[in-house]
Amino acid sequence: MSASHQLGSIPLLIRLTRAVYKRATDDVLGMKLKAYMTLSSLRERGEMPQSELCIAMHLDPNNCVILLNAIEAEGWIERRRDPADRRRHIVVLTSEGREALTRAERAMGSLETEVFGALAPEEREVLHDLLTRALAEEPAAV
């Protein structure tokens, strides 16, 4: 049995995540990886209450606010008062945020090619489908 089978899938995914974190720097993406994930989530799900976004990002409220403050300072999101409940903020992706996300996605595509270089294109597609199915079971997945 190979060493990779002895580890199990979760440790391998953690190693893969670390490899991505190591390569997905501000210089490469033009933003922090957490900002990239936040903007991606907003584009995928649409505007949402700040509290729901924090849950979706698996961040505690304080760290989420710090992250959102930085992203908002870049002009990539806006926080608007919820007209139905003035205590809540709705987080909205701006056009500048969409543009920054598009640039980061191009860089992420190159990064995927680098990280998954040992896999054939068909294998990458299968991996993507498997990961998508695995994450579909988690409602707050990002």
Whether 39 is covered by a domain: the verdict is yes
Whether 128 is covered by a domain: the verdict is yes
Average pLDDT over the chain, rounded to whole?
90
Whether 2 is covered by a domain: the verdict is no
The whole-number pLDDT of residue 141 equals: 42
Phi-psi region of 9 (alpha: psi -120 to 50; beta: other; left: phi over 0): alpha
* pLDDT tens per residue across span 75-96: 999 999 988 888 899 999 999 9
Whether 100 is covered by a domain: the verdict is yes
pLDDT mean over 4-29 = 88
The boundaries of the domain holding residue 38 are 13-136
Whether 6 is covered by a domain: the verdict is no
The whole-number pLDDT of residue 87 equals: 87
Q: Which amino acid type is present at position 118?
A: A
Whether 109 is covered by a domain: the verdict is yes
Contacting residues for 34 by C-beta, under 8 A, at least 6 apart: 57, 67
pLDDT mean over 3-22 = 85
CA–CA separation, 132 and 35 (whole Å): 21
| DSSP at 116 | T
The whole-number pLDDT of residue 6 equals: 80
Give the residue from 41, 44, 72 showing the smallest Cα distance to 54.
Answer: 41
The whole-number pLDDT of residue 72 equals: 98
Whether 123 is covered by a domain: the verdict is yes
The whole-number pLDDT of residue 38 equals: 96
| Of residues 126 and 141, more confidently modeled | 126
Given a cut of 50, whether residue 142 has pLDDT beyond it is: no
Q: Is the pTM of this model over 0.95?
A: no
Instruction: Name the domain count of the chain.
Output: 1
* pLDDT tens per residue across span 58-73: 999 999 999 999 999 9
Kindly provide the b/e burial profile for residues 36-70, where b requires at least 16 CB atoms within 10 angstroms of the residue's own CB: bbbbbbbeeeeebebeebbbbbebeeeebeebbeb
Whether 3 is covered by a domain: the verdict is no
Given a cut of 80, whether residue 5 has pLDDT beyond it is: no
CATH code of residue 51: 1.10.10.10
Given a cut of 70, whether residue 138 has pLDDT beyond it is: no
